[in-house]
């Protein structure tokens, strides 16, 4: 895999718009590794490490997902990409919608995976700020390490303990400063349902059938708001469908890429 300052090339390919994969919190591009490996075809596939991840957690401006979206746009344009199929999981979905709002001509197709277009509730907002303060004060990621079980389908820890170990290791490798920054950035995000409604390109909303954090109802809300959205519910997956059921997610993304290329 080639790497250039936060942009990871899973597959170089044709001149077609690349599929760009934006990760969730508190992880990095590695959560897409198995999906990228399972994708059919020859189109380019890129992964992005967003602000706050290892190597990208110092010298950050005030926390905002708009900053993250601008970073993605700059990385893509720096690589000569002016149109892309953008897929974001959880926080990556929030960034994808901010990218659509701020750089609409970059987005040829949109996949929103285990995410929502609405802002945090007051309770979730307060909890993000509490966790950010705790992580910063402690200088460790202990405050988010325990959340791994909550993002997986109930059957995953029992039947696939290696998945729990892998996801936990990703969390432990994140810098506390970056974790705090990302929490505050997510807390500050607005409702972008109206932004989604303006998009007239192909889109898909993918959600784990057992996602307790952004459940199927949230996915249905985004499909209803979109002009050309399709819903894909992934069985046997919680909030990390790209990790738990990578082949199903790869199939959904491949279908989206094919719709863009028609």
Q: What is the domain extent for residue 87?
A: 2-261
Q: How many domains is the chain partitioned into structurally?
A: 1
What does each of the 262 residues of the chain score in pLDDT, given as a tens digit? Answer: 344 469 999 999 778 999 999 999 999 999 999 999 999 999 999 999 999 999 898 899 999 999 999 999 999 999 999 999 999 999 999 999 999 999 999 999 999 999 999 999 999 999 999 999 999 999 999 999 989 999 999 999 999 999 999 999 999 999 999 999 999 999 999 999 999 999 999 999 999 999 999 999 999 999 999 999 999 999 999 999 999 999 999 999 999 999 999 8
**CATH number, position 152:** 3.40.50.1820
In angstroms, the Cα distances linking 130 to 27, 133, 135, 136, 220 are 19, 5, 9, 10, 30
Q: Do residues 95 and 69 lie in contact, with contact meaning Cβ atoms separated by under 8 Å? A: yes
Place of tokens 């899973």: 10
pTM, two decimal places: 0.97
CB 122 within 8 A of CB 209: no
- What CA–CA distance (Å, rounded) separates 61 from 226? 32
């Amino acid at each position: 895999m080639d790497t250039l300052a936060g942009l990871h090339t899973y597959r170089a390919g044709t001149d077609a718009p690349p599929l760009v994969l934006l990760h969730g919190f508190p992880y990095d591009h590695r959560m897409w590794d198995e999906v990228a490996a399972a994708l059919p075809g020859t189109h380019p596939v890129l992964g992005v490490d967003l602000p706050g991840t290892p190597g990208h957690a110092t010298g950050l401006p005030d926390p905002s997902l708009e900053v993250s979206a601008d970073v993605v746009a700059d990385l893509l344009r720096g690589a000569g990409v002016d149109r892309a199929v953008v897929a974001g999981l959880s926080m990556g979905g929030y960034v994808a919608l901010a990218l659509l709002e701020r750089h609409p001509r970059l987005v040829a197709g949109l996949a929103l995976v285990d995410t929502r277009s609405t802002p945090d509730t007051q309770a979730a907002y307060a909890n993000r700020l509490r966790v950010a303060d705790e992580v910063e004060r402690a200088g460790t990621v202990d405050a988010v390490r325990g959340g791994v079980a909550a993002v997986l389908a109930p059957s995953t820890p029992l039947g696939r303990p290696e998945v729990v170990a892998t996801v936990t290791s990703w969390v432990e490798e994140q810098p506390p400063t970056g974790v705090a920054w990302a929490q505050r950035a997510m807390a500050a995000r607005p409702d972008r349902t109206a932004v989604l409604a303006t998009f007239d390109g192909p889109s898909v909303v993918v959600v784990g059938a057992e996602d307790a954090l952004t459940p199927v109802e949230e996915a249905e809300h985004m499909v209803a708001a979109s002009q050309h959205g399709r819903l894909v519910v992934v069985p046997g997956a919680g909030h990390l469908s790209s990790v738990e059921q990578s082949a199903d997610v790869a199939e959904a993304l491949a279908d989206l890429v094919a719709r863009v290329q028609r």
